[in-house]
Structure 1
């Protein structure tokens, strides 16, 4: 079947992209629209029975250019880029796809954890074994230690970035069991002991807070602790969230992760060493001392170091789905992440207008 010629707006879009050195076909534009990555052109009535005409918006050119740069020949758009597009537009079709994608990621990992409500001994053992296996997969590579070495070398100052405790497999096991089976599989005292082991300088404060909960009659009840519902609580948070809340959560997670990747993987070490920014195709550079500043941010320890720095990592979709659910579930999390995103993006400055989705 012969494909019809591009509409006036699409022809103008293809020409605009060609002017940017990007080759995009009419078929690609149609596929992006079908997947809700690229919004349709707005149409206006010409009046006097002359019908309607579509027109090209600058933001459509920017989105298509970003999609062309993010796409790889013959391969689907990366998950991070797809989620960012759906969240940025907020169209009903895109939001439906986004919600399904996030829930599917949570569902797949929930099955890996053998999450479920059965309380018999065999089910408990299955969940425990799955959580133990997941804890063993906590990577030996410490992102903070690696980036700290790069930053301190570039800064020529071994004290430029403070060390952080390594991710602890014991705590990972307790959290894995909590996510797999909820508060009925794990006692509050187990989580408290694991946290005190990892955070010895905060142990006294943690135990004081636990004693206060006991005195108030809340000890052992998990009251006020959203993760006590286990993995199903995360799935429910995404399924039940209004579109605007889910959109904001995904936008915060994807944008913050993208800013960290750009800063820490591509730009930071050069800026720290006083060298020109390497080519990224985005016409941006990091401010001086950006890398040491980023690694000293409290949210780096709480959030950033646990997010895969490469968006094409196989672990990225699951971790992003988990962080999205936490953003919806934990009070104040969205605002804290919004502040972290802003601080991170302030460490990157434009040399001219970059292409944005």
Structure 2
């Protein structure tokens, strides 16, 4: 990767190329659901981890691409916080709490951003896959694929039983998983979503246990509101 100015500029150029012709939607999936619910006079719950309203906001996607290419050091904590401020101007209180937590950790000699599983960017994520035990990797792919299939069924059922969304969205895994890879459409986008979930399963402390808990939670609601299942969203034929 390199620490020289030329290396830094090269990484920034690579990140910019990743975003060429990429449109940033006005709302992400979460925002679309909330907009439709609000129009019907319903306020959907927010989990304790709820971040900025649109995680695909251009202000977040650009530094996200930089982090994927060069790691956390290329953007820095303040750069990341400034991006969140632009994406969520109404979330000043939450952002300040995050800043305070990082300041307190820094005073104790801990760099929370550097300890993030995503601190080394894409090279670090690929290394986590390469170094994973074969059995654990297969278990992670299977668990993430099954969870996405269950989620797809529940979202279909939510058309007939809207209360399902209230239960799904009140859990921390709505923000830590559903919004960032839980919804896995058929094709390349779905495969990428499963891959990202698999990486989180492998490297984020406690994430695997939370996904298993959430899947059991989803299974309970799926059985309670059972309707005929449509096609699975992601094929599992390639899963060991």
Note whether the superposition's TM-score is higher than 0.5. yes
8 Å CA contact 2:12, 2:66 repeated in 1: no
Residue 191 of structure 2 is aligned to residue 317 of structure 1: yes
Structure 1 residues 260 and 151: CA distance shift in structure 2, 3 A? farther
Within 5 Å, give how 1:184-203 maps onto structure 2: 184-197=73-86, 198=88, 199-203=91-95
8 Å CA contact 1:180, 1:230 repeated in 2: yes
Gaps spanning 5+ residues in structure 2: where?
Answer: none
Within 5 Å, give how 1:8-87 maps onto structure 2: none
Corresponding position of 1:127: 14
Q: Whole-Å Cα distance in 2 between the matches of residues 256 and 312 of structure 1?
A: 15
- Cα displacement string for residues 188-238 of structure 1 (whole angstroms, at most 9, x for unaligned residues): 22123333553423122111112123322345x844222111101111111
**Please, what TM-score do these two structures have when normalized by structure 2?**
0.76
- Cα displacement string for residues 235-261 of structure 1 (whole angstroms, at most 9, x for unaligned residues): 111111112321222122111211111
Structure 1 residues 117 and 332: CA distance shift in structure 2, 3 A? farther
Corresponding position of 1:212: 104
Structure 1 residues 150 and 186: CA distance shift in structure 2, 3 A? closer
Q: Residue 213 of structure 2 is aligned with which of 333, 339, 343? A: 339
Within 5 Å, give how 1:206-355 maps onto structure 2: 206-219=98-111, 222-264=113-155, 266-272=156-162, 289-307=163-181, 309=183, 311-349=185-223
- Cα displacement string for residues 306-342 of structure 1 (whole angstroms, at most 9, x for unaligned residues): 3363531431111221221122111111111111211
8 Å CA contact 1:237, 1:328 repeated in 2: yes
Shift of 1:141: 4.7
Structure 1 residues 259 and 201: CA distance shift in structure 2, 3 A? farther
8 Å CA contact 1:117, 1:181 repeated in 2: no
Corresponding position of 2:32: 146
- Cα displacement string for residues 83-134 of structure 1 (whole angstroms, at most 9, x for unaligned residues): xxxxxxxxxxxxxxxxxxxxxxxxxxxxxxxxx5685245233223135438
Shift of 1:348: 0.5
Q: Whole-Å Cα distance in 1 between the matches of residues 13 and 222 of structure 2?
A: 46
Corresponding position of 1:55: none
Report SS of the residue matched to 1:133: coil
Gaps spanning 5+ residues in structure 1: where?
Answer: 1-115, 273-288
User: How many residues are paired up?
Assistant: 219
- Cα displacement string for residues 46-95 of structure 1 (whole angstroms, at most 9, x for unaligned residues): xxxxxxxxxxxxxxxxxxxxxxxxxxxxxxxxxxxxxxxxxxxxxxxxxx
Q: Whole-Å Cα distance in 1 between the matches of residues 135 and 99 of structure 2?
A: 38
Corresponding position of 1:158: 41
8 Å CA contact 1:151, 1:292 repeated in 2: no
